[in-house]
């Protein structure tokens, strides 16, 4: 005799519903940042960056300055190559 009213059948049913619920939850977990409501890639967009990362933060102006200075460093390499001839 089981202690549950309705017997072993009810237990089996409860277990099945529990499992189904878990399964459904697993299935409806978001697979992208947009599905989780945090923006990001959509059907027509490939948007990679959504959240602020912790730690190291750079100002947008610094990014632009960094890029321009990289360009100048390549120009400088060209000048060096012209001056030294054979090294670089």
Partner 1 sequence: MSGSKFNKIEFDEKIVYTIASVAVYLLAGLPLSNVAQDRIADPFGWLRVPFASQAGTALEFGLLPVVTAGFLWQILAGFKVIKVNFESRSDRELFQSWQKLTAVLIALVYAVLLSFAGYFDPVDQFTSQATLPIWSKLTYIVQLTFMALITALLVELLDKGYGFGPGILAIITVSSSTQFVTSFLGFTTTLTARGFESHGALIQLIRNIKNKPFGLAIYDAFTRDNLANLTQIYVTLAALAAGVYFGNFRVEVPIKSAKVRSMASVYPIKLLYCGALPLLFTYAVLYNLNIIGFALTRIFNTVPYVQYIGSWKLDEFDSSTYNLTSGLLYFVSASPKGASPLHYVVRPVTFSLFVIVVSTAFSKMWSNISGSSGRDIAKQFKEQDITLIGHRDTAVGKELGKIIPVASTTGALIVSVVVCGVEALGLSGGLAVGALTGLLCALTLLESVMTEYQQSGGMASQFGQMFQQR
- Which spans of this chain sit near partner 1 (rule: CB under 8 A)? 29-36, 38, 40-54, 57-60, 63-64, 66-68, 70-71, 74-75, 77-78, 80-81, 88
Rounded distance between C-alpha atoms, residue 1 and residue 12, angstroms: 15
Closest CB 18 distance from partner 1, rounded Å: 21
Q: How far is the CB of 16 from partner 1 (least distance, A)?
A: 23
Instruction: Report the distance separating Cα 46 and Cα 32, nearest Å.
Output: 12
CB-wise, 8 or 79, nearer to partner 1?
A: 79
d(Cα 16, Cα 41) in Å, to the nearest integer? 36
């Amino acid at each position: 005799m089981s202690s549950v009213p309705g017997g072993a059948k009810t237990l089996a049913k409860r277990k099945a519903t529990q499992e189904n619920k878990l399964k459904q939850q697993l299935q409806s977990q978001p697979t992208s940042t947009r599905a989780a409501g945090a923006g990001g890639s959509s059907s027509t967009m490939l948007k990679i960056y959504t959240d602020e990362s912790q730690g190291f933060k750079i100002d947008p102006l610094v990014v632009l300055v960094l890029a321009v200075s990289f360009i100048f460093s390549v120009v400088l390499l060209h000048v060096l190559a012209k001056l030294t001839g054979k090294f670089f």
